[in-house]
Amino acid sequence: MGGSGTAAGGTVSGGSGGDVSQGGSAGSVTSGGSSANGGSAAQGGSSAGSGGSAGKGGVDGGAGAPAIKLELIDDLEDGDKQITVVNNPLRNGIWDTGHDTTSGATQTPTPGAFKPIDLGSDVPYAGDLFAAYTKGQGFMAYGAFMNVSMTLAADPKYDATRYSGISFWAKVGTGSTKAMRVRFISGDTDPRGKICKDPAVTPSATQPEYCFNHYYSSMALSTSWKQYRLDFTNDFHQGTDGMTFAAINLKTMYGLEFYFNVDEVFEVWIDDLSFVVK
């Protein structure tokens, strides 16, 4: 498990909702289809202006672009599944994987066995060693995901209202789908919040009451490392297959899911996951 400490920061310049690995203004992220557990992932736009140097903690964009402060959630460099521990408020969650129960489908690592992967020589920047990783295929009920929780508390809600979005490095493997959803799990859309209803537990529930209609951002990844930034207000949306809300509930954040839709072959690396500070 990781030790305690203060989350590392950084700066990034560029637009929201897309690839910012080269700085500048990023393209928009479009919403996709829907299903009870997330639906299909439409590909989002990702364009970036030239100029700027990449490095750990962020990128520097073009001249005159405003600096953006990043607060590290986890860079995986300690080689374990726990995120970087931060106090006031406590943030001590873990990485894991999850999937539906389709017979014959596979996911690595299996749920409960998460461990960062050694990057070898293929790194997003010099000196980087580890990243979060998952690979799989064959899931036909609702798909599969790699997730990160914010706390290990009995009531694991985390107040994320001081942040405007998230930043991370990512790439997919050759032969993998490039479409991925980042889903924001909150007390509004998760059964643990006791606001919506899980149809598997409450068969009498109607669709407007259903849980799992998480806010999400659909994106198209690359087989090369790129840094992405997503804005909670502009880049996350809901579908229409469950309970809907006027806005994303940052005050009751459980965590994030890097989600792949049904019948997808996927292989993804995620690194240097950070909040963007308001």
Query: Sorting pLDDT into bands at 50, 70 and 90, what band is 67?
Result: confident
Q: pLDDT tens digit string along 187-209?
A: 999 999 999 999 999 999 999 99
Query: Sorting pLDDT into bands at 50, 70 and 90, what band is 15?
Result: very low
For residue 3, the cross-strand partners are none
Q: What is the CA radius of gyration of the chain?
A: 18
What pLDDT does 21 receive?
A: 41
CATH of domain 9-277: 2.60.120.430
Buried b (16+ CB within 10 A) or exposed e, 112-139: eebebbebeeeebbeebbbbbbbbbbbb
The percent of residues in the chain predicted with pLDDT above 90, rounded, is 76
Output the CA–CA distances (angstroms, integers) from residue 121 to 55, 89, 136, 212, 236, in the order listed. Answer: 16, 36, 23, 38, 33
To the nearest 10°, report the CA torsion of 220, 226, 231, 235: -10
Instruction: Considering only residues 90 and 13, tell me which one the structure prediction assigns the higher pLDDT.
Output: 90
Query: Sorting pLDDT into bands at 50, 70 and 90, what band is 107?
Result: very high
Q: Which amino acid is at 43?
A: Q
SS3 255: strand
Q: pLDDT tens digit string along 206-265?
A: 999 999 999 999 999 999 999 999 999 999 999 999 999 999 999 999 999 999 999 999
Instruction: Considering only residues 40 and 207, tell me which one the structure prediction assigns the higher pLDDT.
Output: 207
Mean pLDDT value of segment 19-37: 38
What pLDDT does 8 receive?
A: 43
Output the CA–CA distances (angstroms, integers) from residue 59 to 20, 44, 124, 178, in the order listed. Answer: 8, 21, 12, 23
Residue 165 near residue 232, CB atoms below 8 Å = yes
Distance of alpha carbon 214 from alpha carbon 37, whole angstroms:
8
The yes-or-no verdict on residue 41 having pLDDT over 50 is no
What pLDDT does 60 receive?
A: 40
Q: pLDDT tens digit string along 110-157?
A: 999 999 999 999 999 999 999 999 999 999 999 999 999 999 999 999
What pLDDT does 163 receive?
A: 98
Q: Would you report the helix, strand and coil content of the chain in percent, each value rounded to 5?
A: 5, 35, 60
